Structure 1
Amino acid sequence: MKKYSYIIIDDDAESIMRTKTIAEGFSELTFMASATNYQDGLHMVLENKPSFVFLEIDPEDLSSNLSLAFINELHRYLAVIPKIIVTTSKKGLAFDAIQYGVFDYLLKPLMHIDLLKTTLKLEKILLQTNTVEINEVVSVATPPSEVSRVSNVVEKPLIICIKSYGDYRYLNAADIAYFQADNNSTDIYLSTGEMITAFKTLKHFESILSHPFIRIHNSYIINQNYIARIHHGNSVCYIKNSPKKIPFSKTYKSNVDVIITNFATGNYIEI
């Protein structure tokens, strides 16, 4: 799963803590720093170049100088501007914020569902961007007769090679139902029921894998394509064609919410 760093700039220390607490529920978000005024916030952004900036634009402490003008200052120094997420209690500034090209506008008090929508919005944009980039490379750089061949290469399934002392074991990622941590190694369970051990930590697999693999517990990464049922009351996911029930923890509950949302955005009927 791709990681996104963020900085919080807000004159209210309590508000900073609330934003940070909610963001900590998303494993893909990594806190870098916080600031309570314009100048300190600017220095932190220029030094750290975060993916996101949570920005208050209508501060209670006017001496903090926080406003949408902060975004203009970033344009003076950075070729790539972090995605700005405005966090404020006033609805009336939304139109002005849009003119500054902010990524999102969230009203205080910030709620978990607000940030979930923001992260899903980012995932959707990145997916669309990657698709456009692939199409552009194919159409501009490739003769028409070669387009079909290149498309096949792009769609080639991911193969994971488990290497140990000269033994190379090749696994089709689409056949993996879930990963389970086992101290400093990881057990990989296939849809056939077979298990293969890899001498890498679960954290290593989390860092190199993306959709449809998602971490739902300190000990488990699951392929959401193999989920047959999610039971919130018991905090477990059921695996297709298997009696296996995989627990999910409070720490990764937001990832389970993402899975539920992903199912709902497909060809889907809820009864």
Structure 2
Amino acid sequence: MPESLEDLVDLLDLEMIDADLFRGRQPQTAAQRVFGGQVLGQALGAATRTVEPERIVHSLHGYFLRPGDTAVPIVYRAEPTRDGKTFSSRRVVASQNGKPIFYMSASFQRPEPGLDHSDPMPDDVVPPEEAPTLASVLEAATGRKAEDWNKEWAALDMRLAGVSGRQFWIRAAGKLPDDPALHACVLAYASDLTLLGASLLPHGLVIGDRRIQPASIDHALWFHRSFRADEWLLYDQSSPSASGARGFATGRLFTQDGRLAASVAQEGLIRPVGLDLDDQ
């Protein structure tokens, strides 16, 4: 995982190899596979580089096909599937060693006025200034030292916003440039960190429990309103279902002043490994 926000920004800055073809760097990490949020953020960056700057991403849908190798750069091919008067569509294929590891479709729109409504932000949350860090909460839950968790997530500032364990304050751990596309990529990266864990909470489990084999299967993200990824966002999560060794979770991201900025949905593998299901 990136050891600083600067490392994360560098990670999302892809090398252009050829027209619509990009290479993504890998961070220094002890992880055995590439973090899904990294592939999401880099794939969105590749797609964004191929559309007109005034067209803003409003949705993406991705499928994780194979575990990524942390020792091998990832190649992203952005296919210009459509450019209309208002919308642009892109399909991105991420590959390593000649095999696809991730597919993503993304849609971009030229800003225009329209009807406007949204859900209200939950009001029963702890303010970010008073909320405990996620690293300290996970240290208590897993026994792994808080500094180890902080090292893994050093690019982000994450805090527990509610006692249910499904609400978090999240922001980049520092100031980002005034580039909406970069803020969208950082949010895509961050959106994958805690969401699958929401499907474990009803069973008294957390991500990192050795009795569960977790992995992202698919991920969808909708961008509703402007935001800054370096300002506090409330990540409100829920899990409507878990079955067949898969967990399904949804999330809403609100700005601190209450605007709904983005919505997320994900299904992931939560395969029991040495877990006594009769006790659940």
Same fold (TM over 0.5): no
* TM-score, scaled relative to structure 2: 0.24
Question: TM-score scaled to structure 1, two decimals?
Answer: 0.24
Comparing both chains, which one has the higher relative contact order based on Cα–Cα distances under 8 Å and sequence gaps of 6 or more? Answer: 2
Q: Which has the higher strand share?
A: 2
